Amino acid sequence: MTPPIPIAKSVAGLQSALEPLRRAGKRIGFVPTMGALHEGHLSLLQEAKRQSDFAVLSVFVNPEQFGPSEDYARYPRDLKADAALAAGAGADHLFAPSPETVYPNGFCTRVEVTGLSDRLCGARRPGHFRGVTTVVWKLLQIVDPDLVFFGAKDAQQVVLIRKMIHDLNGPWEVRSVATVREEDGLAKSSRNRYLAPPDRERAATIHRALRSAFQTIVHGERSAGTAEKIADAILKGMAVDVEHLSTVSLSDLEPLVELQGDVLLAVAARFGETRLIDNVCFRVAGDEVEEILP
Ligand code: AMP
């Protein structure tokens, strides 16, 4: 069994653990999560271990990024299980602050990447990305890592965080990590556990639809509309309730007509109360198409 890892609940506790490492010139890698860890989170952690000397993982279910009718109260929480999984994947320190530690009484500052926050997932989840960027900015200030790791599954999040760090002159380097999937292609997510068995089976259609559209692009299709129609037909064929299916430029999330440059093809779909997202990112340069990370 892997020995347990230290868990800091306070900002001072974490910072006093990291101070000597920083002084010794160690590179700190940071993986922010909301817990309920699965192999997707663990692959971020493994990447953090590979690219840095000391890996910090945070577990914080951020109330600011949930809408009033969303699943904040029932979001799965099990710090003991998360600590064991994180230790097994090589985490060196856990940061698990309480909501009061992150948002003490009187907290009234927000960080918002305007415009980009309202596109794609932001259109249906007003305030969601303001909650994400606010907490990520705060966690980055607290941990002050060299590198911070995010999953490609949440491509819009990666784009927003890169923009926030650029616009506000943050010193941290962002690394994105490929999406980890179930055997049938469904992107691993803490929310997959909510799916009823028939929905769980249908949910794999999202990945299938994205791959089919991507394959036609690899074979020469350059119309965003046509690529979207191919994915949409597959999703409709399985009666999937699509919230958005969009082809946008990866840099500014603006809708594309012609596929050129760095492209994000993103899907959000609903299965009952559960909302799932997935995407494919690729670079189109003339006849060449190459899958990339956001
Ligand atoms: P969450 O706990 O859902 O906020 O996710 C924390 C981090 O894990 C985010 O950077 C996510 O993009 C990433 N992540 C979630 N699911 C996956 C996955 N299936 N593969 C890779 N990274 C993931």
Angle at 71 between CA 68 and CA 75, to 5 degrees: 140
pLDDT above 80: residue 270 = yes
Q: How confident is the model at residue 19 (pLDDT cuts 50, 70, 90)?
A: very high
Q: What is the mean pLDDT of residues 103-116?
A: 98
Residue 140 phi, psi (nearest 5): -65, -40
Taking only the tens place, the pLDDT of each residue in 152-168 is 999 999 999 999 999 99
Q: Quick one: which H or E segment has residue 32?
A: strand 28-33
Q: What are the residues facing 177 on neighbouring strands? A: 151
Nearest residue (CA) to ligand 1, atom 12: 151
55 near 92, Cβ under 8 Å? yes
Q: What is the mean pLDDT of residues 134-141?
A: 98
Q: How confident is the model at residue 91 (pLDDT cuts 50, 70, 90)?
A: very high
Integer Cα distance of 260 and 149 in angstroms = 27
Q: How confident is the model at residue 3 (pLDDT cuts 50, 70, 90)?
A: confident
| CB 224 near ligand 1, within 6 Å | no
CA of 273 to the centre of ligand 1 (A): 20
132 near 156, Cβ under 8 Å? no
pLDDT above 80: residue 1 = no
Q: How far is CA 219 from CA 25, 169, 286, 290, in A?
A: 48, 40, 12, 12
Atom of ligand 1 nearest to the CA of 36: 2
Catalytic choice (41, 93, 128, 207): 41
CA of 40 to the centre of ligand 1 (A): 6
What 3-state DSSP class applies to 70?
A: coil
pLDDT above 80: residue 52 = yes
- What pLDDT does residue 2 have? 79
Residue 53 phi, psi (nearest 5): -95, -25
Q: Mean pLDDT score of the chain, rounded to an integer?
A: 97
Task: State yes or no: is 219 an active-site residue.
Answer: no
- Residue 62's CB is within 10 A of a number of other CB atoms, namely 20
CA of 219 to the centre of ligand 1 (A): 30
Taking only the tens place, the pLDDT of each residue in 162-199 is 999 999 999 999 999 999 999 999 999 999 999 999 99
| CB 41 near ligand 1, within 6 Å | yes
Integer Cα distance of 201 and 186 in angstroms = 9
Taking only the tens place, the pLDDT of each residue in 219-254 is 999 999 999 999 999 999 999 999 999 999 999 999
- What pLDDT does residue 45 have? 98
